[in-house]
Amino acid sequence: MTIVLVTGAGGQLGRAVVDAAALRGFAVVGLDRAAMPVENADLVREQVARHRPDCVVHCAAWTDVDGCEADPTRADRVNGHATAYVAEACRAVDARLLAVSTDYVFAGLAPKGADGHSRAFVTDDCVDPESSYGRSKLLGEQAVLRAPLDLGFCVVRTSWVFGPGGRNFPGAILARARSGQPLRVVDDQIGCPTYAVDLAEALLDLAVSDRASGVYHAANEGVVSWHGFAVELLRQAGLDVEVGTMTTAELGRPAPRPAWSALDCSKLTALRGRPLPPWQDAVARYLSKESK
């Protein structure tokens, strides 16, 4: 039986991976921060050696972007060095590693296609993170990619993740709309919403593929602004609420946000034989779970 160990199992993506792996009949070891704080190298090594998984899905991370900006040393420790500890532990027991990364490793300036128009980031585009969060996640990527290719280690970059439970953009928008508070959402950041449930399935497809190695992008199909995301979410939720616009500069957050986060997922699609569903479909399924 395939044994899958999931770090960060208490988070919205970690929980989704644990649930999806169990449904596939895998033996699942879900370790949250209390069970395995990943910045503790000795404990990481002990837990991985104890369970001897076939695959580790590394979801644990410090994803507070502004918190990382205020404390880059901690960001590097949790998102960078800790990922190196997980990679070393996987090598010791010959386990495959899938490390979840982020669109924040890119500078956020849209690359241009041959026609001169903006295109999505492909996996081998140059990385140039502008935030402490992005730099710490790139540090983790580099630790994973130093491993020999035949180990099948993968970095899986994703963006704008939302899912049942936990704090996320749709939950915040719905709560504010239902409270009657005015809504304004930035419209100058463009990216790909990603449903944790769909991302979990893609991660597990990579876990069982003998051909998977290197960097992949994984996001639901389609590109939208945060404002457009909010408008469609409220439309599907049946909430007639006006959504005003604002700029990133007006929002005034400490850490820089990528203006362009569109990810080209064709490499993942080719391996799986199908893309992740459109983000609008993912919103419908999120709302169906959220209403229960």
The tally of domains found in the chain comes to 1
Q: With respect to residue 177, please indicate whether it lies within any of the assigned structural domains.
A: no
Q: With respect to residue 143, please indicate whether it lies within any of the assigned structural domains.
A: yes
Q: Give the confidence band of 113 by pLDDT, cuts at 50, 70, 90.
A: confident
Q: Give the confidence band of 289 by pLDDT, cuts at 50, 70, 90.
A: confident
Q: Which sequence positions are flagged as catalytic? A: 133
Q: With respect to residue 79, please indicate whether it lies within any of the assigned structural domains.
A: yes
Q: With respect to residue 186, please indicate whether it lies within any of the assigned structural domains.
A: no
Is-contact 28 2, C-beta < 8 A? no
For residue 35, the 8-state DSSP code is T
Mean pLDDT across the chain: 95
Is-contact 4 55, C-beta < 8 A? yes
Q: With respect to residue 151, please indicate whether it lies within any of the assigned structural domains.
A: yes
Query: Model confidence over 4-47: pLDDT tens digits?
Result: 999 999 999 999 999 999 999 999 999 999 999 999 999 999 99
Helix (H, G, I), strand (E, B) or coil at 157: strand
Helix 169-179 and helix 279-290, axial crossing angle in degrees, nearest 10: 60
Q: What percent of the chain has pLDDT over 90?
A: 90
Q: With respect to residue 137, please indicate whether it lies within any of the assigned structural domains.
A: yes
Q: With respect to residue 174, please indicate whether it lies within any of the assigned structural domains.
A: no
Q: Give the confidence band of 137 by pLDDT, cuts at 50, 70, 90.
A: very high
**E strands within the chain?**
3-7, 27-31, 55-58, 96-102, 154-158, 161-162, 183-186, 190-191, 194-195, 214-217, 224-225, 243-246
Using only C-alpha atoms, the chain has a radius of gyration, in whole angstroms, of 19
Give the model's pLDDT for residue 292.
Answer: 61
pTM: 0.96
The CATH number of the domain where 68 resides is what? 3.40.50.720
Give the model's pLDDT for residue 150.
Answer: 79
d(C-alpha 207, C-alpha 210), whole Å: 8
Q: Give the confidence band of 158 by pLDDT, cuts at 50, 70, 90.
A: very high
Q: Which amino acid is at 76?
A: D
Q: With respect to residue 235, please indicate whether it lies within any of the assigned structural domains.
A: no
For residue 78, the 8-state DSSP code is I
Query: Model confidence over 242-285: pLDDT tens digits?
Result: 999 999 999 999 999 999 999 999 999 999 999 999 999 999 99
Lowest mean pLDDT among 11-20, 34-43, 65-74, 175-184: 175-184
- Boundaries of domain holding 40: 3-166+193-220+262-278
d(C-alpha 62, C-alpha 59), whole Å: 10
